[in-house]
Amino acid sequence: MSVWEQLLNLLFPPKCPFCRRILDSPGVCDTCRKELPWTEEHEAVREGTDGLRCAAPLWYEGKVREAILRLKFYGAAATAETLGALMAQCAAEHLSGEFDLVTWVPVSRKRRWKRGYDQAELLARAVCRAWGVKPVALLRKTMNNPAQSGLKEDAARRANVLGVYEMRPGAEVSGRRVLLIDDVCTTGATLTECSKALREAGADAVVCACVAHARRERDRR
């Protein structure tokens, strides 16, 4: 660890992103590692009827939900590093060999300005640091539509994101296989819309990774 990193840890000690306990180094505390709602082997990759495949290490509930909400709405940008590391491990285990490029689901310019960052971009950069590569900005959001978190019905979520994502000017994805990063997979509407834009631009394949899956009724049985 560099002197600069040691100084930063002294001034801003690393915390477990889930319980906020101070740690000696970035990561997850032993208690949370034992108690968090981890997805089981057969649950980690969710497959949609449209062919969407998304890997996530955790379920969106309890401390996991609270950690993601802090990241998205309460300025806890530092938690992206640990959450991204968990995603990187999950994607490497379940999606290895299925992608050669990493990008993310962008927020609107207005939302980015308000938050000061794009949480999915932070996660993508953390994922890529774990692998020694860099993500590529491929998509942009064309309007500041209502947050998906405020919509409960699947149809409303699909309608809310319809046509709001497009390729960035000059972005090139033809013939590439893309890993698309976001924070949560609820119904998959946002990931599906972004995947559509990437495939229409020539991507050979798109797979996805998130911090957490929101449970559906059949997941509770």
Segment 123-164, tens digit of pLDDT: 999 999 999 999 999 999 987 665 555 545 555 556 556 667
Residue with the larger pLDDT of the pair 109 and 5 = 109
Return the H-helix or E-strand segment holding 113: helix 109-115
Distance CA 101, CA 202 (A): 13
**Band of pLDDT at residue 208, cut at 50, 70 and 90:** very high
Distance CA 70, CA 44 (A): 23
pLDDT given for residue 50 in this prediction: 77
pLDDT given for residue 144 in this prediction: 64
In 3D, which of 74, 53, 91 has the Cα closest to residue 211?
91
Q: CA 83, 87, 88, 89 torsion: positive or negative? A: positive
Q: Decide if 79 contacts 112 (C-beta within 8 A).
A: no
Q: Within 10 Å of residue 47's Cβ, how many Cβ atoms?
A: 10
Q: Decide if 86 contacts 68 (C-beta within 8 A).
A: no
Residue with the larger pLDDT of the pair 37 and 112 = 37
Q: pLDDT at residue 46 above 90?
A: yes
Share of the chain above pLDDT 70, in %: 83
Mean pLDDT taken over the chain: 87
